[in-house]
Structure 1
């Protein structure tokens, strides 16, 4: 049985999507493939079992799902945090090894979703430095270098992992940065001994969410255009300036949600003059009736929330930063991009397949 750990240098690199795509590629090649996530950070309880939200979904779509209580044996619930800080948490390694054995029984290959960043799971003894040796598996690293940075995260991780690293994928690279990534960053890293497997372009549709998902995440009240909640939002902008500046600002992005105070009619009207899919009104302040009528005419949902702007922004960042794996179309899109832009044969060879 072979295994591979898919991990990343930082949050929002697309690690989970690549892990899911890899399970489906391997399954279609005839392998009995399983999925395992040692340490989860998005707790959800199903039939009395607490597991990780993404792990639950990925496991459900496998041809042969693993036991629900084993697919993610350690979950960072509030109770777990309290036990850890009180010094009462038990050694996690025996539970992880037992769960991994149960999930991998009879499999040809296991795709293990590792930490979002190197330090994640350290307090629980389940950081990348712990999981790699514990499961004796090679590591696939997913990175998304910032436009103004050198690729220091990937280089540091390559030094840290040594021979355990089987390859690096640069993911979510904007079109304007693709030549730099392919012609300069990849050769630079390869010259330092880092095995590079591909560069995947940025696809705004992958990080998009529906207006309904925003309503649920912000616990919002829908004021207008309730029939447009299935429209997709690809970005968000915060409106805190005058109307003239706001108009120029909002024209920079299409298919967006605008977050602004409920009493800022000038900003709301400016947003409605551009490609806006929803307006989030903070402070539990209802907008002017004229603005409501205009939004209804244009079919733009206005969402009233009782949080302040900063809290709304934080929730939107978390929502739009994740690739929503539960959407079959997005999962298929990620797989197609992985197949088109990465050297999968080199990857499979590196893990012995």
Structure 2
């Protein structure tokens, strides 16, 4: 009866939150994928990069689409932190560790790019194209150019891990795995090559004083005061991101201390073994801590019906 009259409660359950995280992750994965396709056109020419950028802006810009995109980004960010807090077990697979670490690296790597593109356009009307961005990365700020390259790889790998965990149990995935793996490897390689090729073309064009004066005039790249404000905003976000992560880690520590001091439950196995675990642990988590083999093809993500809470 509750699920009929209050369907929103299903989205507040762990499985509902995971569904929201999956949906937001797919939107962001699509966003990253279109950007990689765009950057791969740098292998043709800078003109092709700029031409496809107009398509990108048509798809992802506009007040409504921007609000949706950043709403999805913020939601996925906080759900990722919640997923970190939610997992009690220390027995993580290498893939889960990689996905977690890559995901935590994305916000600080993304901060400078978002501030100097989206925020700069929204607040100051600075409509930068690839010529300005590649000039900045290749001439003015090579460090942030390397950060951008790392961001492309990290964001794509994080998304690929998410797709892998989502699709690996699908009956058709085995037949398409090689094709999807080829796309997953080829697309970022082409994007990185296109990024570097476009950067070389911009550096060559920058030797012309007339081109340089027109391309990097303050009306496009911003004045000193505007760029200083953007840099401060980026630093504020980095402090916020670091503070949020520290807060989650502190909450994990507090919960661990409370669970050790709190009550314990007994898990009885068919072979007669008994395991005592803190209240709130799932059967899977209790089994992992005790070293008892426990099938969990979904990795403890409540997708294979083996993640019931102990004592429930």
TM-score per shorter chain, which class?
under 0.3
Higher helix share: 2
Higher gyration radius (CA): 2
